[in-house]
Amino acid sequence: MNLTTDRRSFLAYFSSLGLASTLFPGVLWGKLTEARISEVPLAEESGAKRSATNASQAAAPQLTKDMLRSAAAVAGLEFTDDQLDKMLKGVTENTVKLRDLRKIEIDNSIAPPLYFNPVLPGMKIDRARRPFRASAPPRVQRPPRLEDVAFWPVTSLSELVRTRQVTSVELTEMYLARAKRYNPKLKCFVTITDDLALREARQADQEIAAGKYRGPLHGIPYGIKDLFAVKGYPTTWGAAPFKDRIIDVDATVVTRLSEAGAVLIGKLATGELALDDIWFAGQTMNPWDTSMGSQGSSAGPGSATAGGLVGFSVGTETLGSILAPSAICGVTGLRPTFGRVSRYGAMALSWSMDKTGPMCRSVEDCALVLNAIQGADNLDLAAVDVPFNWDATLDVRKLRVAYLKAAFENTRQTPQVEANDRAALDKIRSLGIELAEFKLPESPKLDPSAILNAEGISALRDPVETHPDQLARPDRIAGQNAYRLYPAADYVNANRARMLLMREMDKLMAKIDVYLLPYDYADYTPNPVADRSTGITNLTGHPSVTLPHGFDEKGHPTGLTFIGKLFGEAQMLALAKAYQDSTGWHLKHPKL
């Protein structure tokens, strides 16, 4: 089969690479191909005059069976001569339809009217609302040097503010000073929002002085990943073409944190278009070792939280972007159940996989932040109203817990990392928990990119197509273009395979409440079993929390991950908190 068919004709065909409506419409080649189509000989006109419809039809390229046969080979398909003859008319018509479709300007903020739901038919989700039970407030005392609280968890910072030992303005000025001092080294802030931060801090102090205390986030400075829009400030997505762009809305998460009284001190770095830790100003670094990047597109939240530059932060995950930087930076990162938290106002990468979650210094901090930001939102129809019934006093001995044995038996790690993994399991057992073995579904072996990239090429058509010369990651452009030849039927079938995977996971999770696995990325050494778990649970929408469980031979943090049931964050976090409280690894911090 000859794939070197006349270049102009072949490119012309790809504008209609629908194979009679079988390829993903609207994302196939895009404007680049449109420009090349104009070079191709057009079909002959019939008659002296044409109606608008006939004019559109006549503008289609003259396609041949050889073009279709070559294009089918690219899509991994094969047709007989008779089938190709019968397809020509439909494919030619599709060429014009797809060309017209691509002329429609669609902003990244416009989601398709199709919403992924991780809940299976017949699945019972606990919707009873119970009191939110936080731990008893710790007894705290303001230190002589205020900067000594920079690494304190929110649970302690909030007590300083609530008892008026520290004002929100004092706390905010301290974190702003640290952000400005260390950002040149860490590159974790894109924009420091001084004016907004001090305005919100003064308001918090006035309200607290008047007896209007809003709760544990009131007056606490935080940072948010620069995928989220904030009125009056640039929202760059880590991409140079957008470094001065202002989206004049507040993301729902920003609005809800404002309602909780939190103080926004800055927009935190994201890898360009949510890829890794490299953005237009450079690479975001790990505070534990500034020769290393902080990994994952939520690199800024991971670095800023670990470096004591914010009280807490908010990131996003599509395929590991909260878990990876949390593990490598030694912070506690929560990826909630898909649909638990609104994504309105955030860059879309994959409408059916994107999730928003907190990155903090402790498990209970994550619970406090999740409580403030979770819930239904009519601006993101994928966000649902399921109660988050946090109970810090839950008896974790009643939970059914398993561990992903194959991940703990991975032999690629160093002796110290393997010792950390064993010690973590021993500590869990010492809490009075009997660990069962857990195995991931054997099939279907669905690659998450089959869904993520198919959605991503549509979501990020601009700027990948409009500003390719300004992007720092040309490999991203090449990867996106490859998926422009992805059949729509295969995208649909990937989602059907996803349903099979969801059913298999539901059968396995029916026997347990939580399972454990290591998330050891200190030296970017992958654990293939852990990676597969991350892929599967991002496809199925299950929640996860990663927290530090020691250090490797080089002094880099190592991580332990907990996976819970759908909307089972309260139980999952209770177990993670019990482990964290019994070890204290989260209290360690880098010496910048």
Query: Into which CATH architecture does domain 146-444+480-587 fall?
Result: Alpha-Beta Complex (3.90)
Torsion, Cα 409 413 415 420, to 10 degrees, reads -70
Q: Which of 15, 16, 168, 225 is catalytic?
A: 225
579: phi then psi, degrees, rounded to nearest 5: -65, -50
Coil, helix or strand at residue 37? helix
Structure tokens belonging to residue 401: 């817990």
Q: How far apart are CA 585 and CA 555, in angstroms?
A: 12
State the pLDDT at residue 480: 67
- Mark the ranges of the chain whose per-residue pLDDT is less than 50: 1-53, 55-58
DSSP string, 316-346: EESSSTTHHHHHHHT-EEEEPPTTSB--TTB
225 is catalytic: yes
Structure tokens belonging to residue 283: 């690479």
Q: Which residues contact 412 (CB under 8 A, 6 or more apart)?
A: 525, 526, 527
Amino acid in the structure at residue 209: A
State the pLDDT at residue 412: 72
Q: Which residues contact 449 (CB under 8 A, 6 or more apart)?
A: none
State the pLDDT at residue 543: 98
321 is catalytic: yes
Q: How far apart are CA 263 and CA 267, in angstroms?
A: 12
Cβ atoms of residues 413 and 421 within 8 Å? yes
Pairing relation of β-strands 289-293 and 285-286? antiparallel
Cβ atoms of residues 301 and 365 within 8 Å? no
DSSP string, 429-487: HHTT-PEEEE----S----THHHHHHHHHHHTHHHHTT-GGG-S-HHHHHHHHHGGG-B
Each domain of the chain, given as residue ranges in start order, spans 1-106, 146-444+480-587
Q: How far apart are CA 354 and CA 225, in angstroms?
A: 13
Cβ atoms of residues 384 and 376 within 8 Å? yes
Per-residue pLDDT reduced to its tens digit, 536-577: 999 999 999 999 999 999 999 999 999 999 999 999 999 999
Q: Which of 16, 70, 313, 321 is catalytic?
A: 321
Q: From start to end of 269-408, where are the E strands?
A: 278-279, 282-283, 285-286, 289-293, 312-317, 332-335, 355-360, 401-404
Largest interatomic CA distance in the chain:
90
Cis before 441? omega within 30: no
Q: From start to end of 93-207, where are the E strands?
A: 189-192
Per-residue pLDDT reduced to its tens digit, 325-365: 999 999 999 999 999 999 999 999 999 999 999 999 999 99
97 is catalytic: no
Q: Which residues contact 212 (CB under 8 A, 6 or more apart)?
A: none
Cβ atoms of residues 126 and 567 within 8 Å? yes
State the pLDDT at residue 270: 97
584: phi then psi, degrees, rounded to nearest 5: 80, 10
State the pLDDT at residue 201: 98
Q: Which residues contact 222 (CB under 8 A, 6 or more apart)?
A: 257, 262, 263, 264, 265, 310, 311, 312, 313, 314
Q: Which of 15, 16, 294, 297 is catalytic?
A: 297
